[in-house]
Amino acid sequence: MISGRKPQQRPDSRVQLLPGGLPGPYLLPDDQHHVFRSAHGSRLVTTESVEFIDHVGGAGALILGHGHPAVVEAAQRQLGRAMHLFGVHNEPALELAERLVDTVPCAERIAYATTGSEATAYAMRMARAATGRDLVLKFEGGYHGNHDYALVSTFPSARSDFPHGHPDTGGQPAATRSTILVAPFNDLATVEQIFSDHSGRIAGIIVECVQRIIPADETFLGGLRELCDRSGAVLIFDEVVTGFRLGPTSAQGHYGVHPDLATFGKIIGAGGPLSCVAGRADLLDHADPRRRGGSDHVYLNGTLHGNPVAAAATLAMLDELADPNVYELLDATTGRLCVGAQAALDRHGVPAIAVHVGSLWQILFTDGPPRSYADIAAGDSLAMRRLDAELLRQGHFVLPGVRRFVSTAHTDADIDATIKAIDRACARFVEHREPTQRSRSSET
């Protein structure tokens, strides 16, 4: 039975061993602090046997849902052969490199890492080493991971004073932050102005083609491509989310704009410790260890780089995704979910919109489809979190304020159940309506 609530739940006191008693940065309602025991397909089960339909999908890594048999079998087979190898090639990682070069338009070489954050840090380092320039431009509201070069104006509470960004974390050296320039997403004119103000000093641009839930305008990515070509800067697409999520050739194939470097994680990794930078051979070759000692050599190294179990699981996942209908089906399923969600919102007079890009979706309290972080920040994020909390209480696992993912494990019945749950959540939302104030958007 699906039920996000169970009376007499005893809080597990061990959670206090973690900062704030939380597993990560996301604030959950006090009555929704669960410990999960297992996950299968579209379902999560807590240690108290409460079942949820999962909409988080391992932050998007699990496009086939939890525990897909082919993925589990591939991982188990590889576990029996070698769980971890260091400093040597392994068969699944080489096979995956070949697969990536065959499918990802920009990929001539692959450099493995462990997390999406690590991949974006390496890509930025490659851009700097290759150009001999220090500055990297990112977009307000764009998330590129947990390192100091990424956590600039990702979820600022005040509007950025472009091109200067706000720190998203304490402990970030101001000198590091000063190497990151920030521009509004989907605003090519401002990017051009920043390039002209910093002529010959910008190493590269890093961008999410779908920034959280905001798709890039048709011409925006092409404009960035031209600007980088004109100025000798490196164009980096952060495809940690969009890679193999937007389609078989990822966002770059979907948009028909090819970057110099692209970062992959999540689906590349299949829920295991694996990510990579893919791109132009001459850029990746800065990491050739024979160039060590040179000022343009890029140091790449990590204990878990190219992990064979994660690579084997990823290959199995990509095999399943090779079916040409998969993405169309995911898109249609997510579209149906959003049409149903919108009808529920409208029926209850909840001033929100259900938006989706492929299999990414979210309910936003914005005036219309957002084009930039400023549009999201102008929305009512407290109301968004309150509705999401109600959805949690209906047995649907979402992180309040965070975009969610449809997987191939979501059945038609799951989607119907989600729409009904949104309807019930809307009813409770309206019943308990309290004056909300427009407030800072959540980090996503």
Binding of ligand PMP by 120 (CB under 6 A): yes
Q: Which of 148, 168, 187, 238 is catalytic?
A: 238
Among 75, 207, 240, 364, binds ligand PMP (CB under 6 A): 240
Question: Are the C-beta atoms of 444 and 360 separated by less than 8 Å?
Answer: no
Binding of ligand PMP by 117 (CB under 6 A): yes
Site string for ligand PMP, 210-239 (x = CB under 6 A): ----------------------------x-
* Closer Cβ to ligand PMP, 236 or 383, answer by number: 236
Give me the residue whose beta carbon is nearest to ligand PMP.
Answer: 116
* Closer Cβ to ligand PMP, 204 or 340, answer by number: 204
Structure tokens at 346: 């409208």
Q: Minimum Å distance from CB 339 to ligand PMP?
A: 26
Among 41, 57, 145, 306, binds ligand PMP (CB under 6 A): 145
Binding of ligand PMP by 116 (CB under 6 A): yes
Q: Minimum Å distance from CB 117 to ligand PMP?
A: 3
Is there a catalytic annotation at residue 266? yes
Among 140, 148, 168, 208, binds ligand PMP (CB under 6 A): 208
Candidate ranges 115-123, 306-314, 374-382, 410-418; the one touching ligand PMP (CB under 6 A):
115-123
Whole-angstrom CA distances from 424 to 389, 390, 393 are 12, 8, 10
Q: Minimum Å distance from CB 398 to ligand PMP?
A: 15
Is there a catalytic annotation at residue 138? no
* Closer Cβ to ligand PMP, 104 or 241, answer by number: 241
Binding of ligand PMP by 109 (CB under 6 A): no
Binding of ligand PMP by 375 (CB under 6 A): no
Binding of ligand PMP by 362 (CB under 6 A): no
Binding of ligand PMP by 265 (CB under 6 A): yes
* Closer Cβ to ligand PMP, 122 or 365, answer by number: 122
* Active site positions, annotated: 143, 238, 266
Contacts with ligand PMP, residue ranges (CB under 6 A): 59, 115-117, 120, 143-146, 208, 238, 240-241, 265
